Structure 1
Amino acid sequence: MESKRQQKFSRLIQKELSEIFQREMQHKFGKTFITVTSVRMTADLSLARVYLSFMLAPNTTEVMKQVEDYHSEIRRHLGLRIGKQVRHVPDLQFFQDDSAEYSSNIDKILSGLDIPPADDEGKGDNGSEDKK
């Protein structure tokens, strides 16, 4: 369970990184739209695990590699934005958030299931009526 301080710091970093990806770094990734889906902070606030989602990306692994290549520049932009609010700018670890893909895959599996319609409500498993 994250502390209030970790949650507050996570929200701040998520907001600022979102703006960095949309404004300062947009030209580095072409037409790819990068969304910061969540940020998880360590207890000592020294490391931020940043989860990213990509839209319009031809190859997400290539975009993820580009994000890693620009790691120091992204951290520098973050430091310029939050430097007066925090004592130390945390190190950043980037991860691809595949929860949207996972949920669409589960939806596809569930829609493909052949589930027979339920019997009348008053009947039990053996077909006789339940007595209350």
Structure 2
Amino acid sequence: MDTTRQEKINRLIQKELSEIFRKQTQQMRGLIVSVSTVRVSPDLGMAKVYLSIFPSEQAKDILTNIKTNIKTLRFDLGQKLGKQLRVIPELAFYLDDSLDYLENIDRLLGSDNKKDE
């Protein structure tokens, strides 16, 4: 259970990282990187960031690229949040594949319905 402060920081980091990714992917047509969830540790020193990447075929490559540029992303985040947070948390990026999971379930249920007809 997150405290109110953690929830506010989660939303703040999610908003700013979303804006950073939007600006960086603007030149790349057909690529969407969205921040689905951010979870900050109780000591506010670590932030787990879950990303949803479209198209999902490129997700692992994009995530690898993001992980190699993690220091730059943290610096950019610090530039935006420096006045609001004393310490910018370390970032850890993870792939949020819940949309692919839902799509797979829909596909499986759709094929089952066609068999019944």
TM-score, L = length of structure 1: 0.79
Residues 107, 56 of structure 1: CA spacing in aligned structure 2 closer, same or farther, 3 A cutoff? Answer: closer
Work out whether residues 33 and 57 of structure 1, in 8 Å CA contact, stay in contact via their aligned partners in 2: no
1:87-98 equivalence runs, <5 A: 87-98=86-97
**Identity among equivalent pairs (%):** 38
Could you tell me which runs of 5 or more consecutive residues in structure 1 were left unpaired when the two chains were aligned: 117-132
Task: Report the counterpart of residue 125 of structure 1 in structure 2.
Answer: none
The root-mean-square deviation of aligned C-alpha atoms, in Å, is 1.9
- 1:87 and 1:9 map into 2 onto residues whose CA distance is 12
Whether the 8 Å CA contact 1:57–1:63 is kept in 2: the answer is no
In proportion to residue count, which structure has more helix?
A: 2
Q: Which amino acid is the alignment partner of residue 113 of structure 1?
A: D
Please tell me the residue identity of whatever aligns with 1:19: E
What per-residue deviation string (whole Å, max 9, x for no partner) do you get for residues 24-58 of structure 1? x336x844221011101111111110000111365
Superposed, which structure 2 residues align to 1:1-132 within 5 Å? 1-23=1-23, 25-26=24-25, 30-31=28-29, 32-56=31-55, 58-114=57-113
The one-letter code matched in structure 2 to 1:98 is D
Secondary structure of 2:88's aligned partner: coil
Q: Measure, in 1, the Cα distance between the counterparts of 2:108 and 2:43.
A: 41
- Number of residue pairs aligned between Structure 1 and Structure 2: 114
CA distance in 1 between partners of 2:21 and 2:69 (Å): 11
TM-score normalised to the size of structure 2?
0.88
Structure 2 regions of 5+ residues with no counterpart? none
Deviations 1:53-80 (A, max 9, x none): 1113652211111001110110000000
Return the alpha-carbon distance in structure 1 between the equivalents of residues 14 and 94 of structure 2. Answer: 13
Distance, in Å, in 1 between the alignment partners of 2:25 and 2:90 is 21
Deviates more, 1:59-68 or 1:86-95: 59-68
- Opposite residue 41 of structure 1, the aligned amino acid is V
